[in-house]
Amino acid sequence: MKKLAAASALLLAAPLAACGSSSNAPAPVTTTVTTKAPAPVTTSAQAPTTTSAVHTSTTSAVSGSVTNFQQYMYEQLLKNPNPGDSIDMKGTAATVCISGDGYALHLVAAGPNTSCDFAKAVVNAQTQGLNATGDNIRDSLQPSIEVTSPVTGKAYTMSCSNDADNLITCTGGDNASVFMY
């Protein structure tokens, strides 16, 4: 349990540091780019115009750059979502099914046309043989699994992948989608 708490603290500390909420967080990096716009073709002499663009980004020494989705998820996790709460998973409306269940996961959500019972069965299939406090599901993610729905009793094939934001998405079956973050 101590490992889980430490891992959760580390996983939450990285986005926290990136948000600038910690006194150890690096200052935002601001870059100003000045370019000369090409002068329009005219018969009279014109001075070139200058435009400026300012881009501000925040990086963390712990986790590299933080994406908008990671920031969004960090903010959602601060709200301590409960099973049954709605959450947006990269443009897909989903329902929180599990909040913080080990395996380096903060939550599991079921997309439209997917029950929480089925989402839990997907997690169980992916974590079979893993230690909840010591193993990270991403390290042994199976790209394809067979899952029996507790609702329909039918077996479905689910394809799972982990993206650059550490969002695991499993899709398949009868238009089912399960999200693990």
Summarised one tens digit per residue, pLDDT across range 102-134 is 999 999 999 999 999 999 999 999 999 999 999
Do 84 and 164 share a domain, yes or no?
Answer: yes
Count of structural domains, the chain? 2
**29: Cα separation from own chain's centroid:** 23
Pull the structure tokens for residue 122: 């997907």
Asked if residue 97 and residue 34 are part of one domain, the reply reads no
Owning domain of residue 55: 2-64
Query: How much is the pTM?
Result: 0.65
> Is 70 exceeded by the pLDDT of residue 10?
no
State whether 104 and 126 are in the same domain: yes
Work out whether the CA dihedral 146, 149, 154, 159 comes out positive or negative. Answer: negative
pLDDT of 17: 34
Mean pLDDT across the stretch 15-41? 38
31, 64, 97 - which closes a domain: 64
Instruction: Give the pLDDT of residue 80.
Output: 92
Are 51 and 86 in a shared domain? Answer: no
What pLDDT band is residue 100 in, cutting at 50, 70 and 90?
A: confident
Residue written as token pair 């969002």: 167
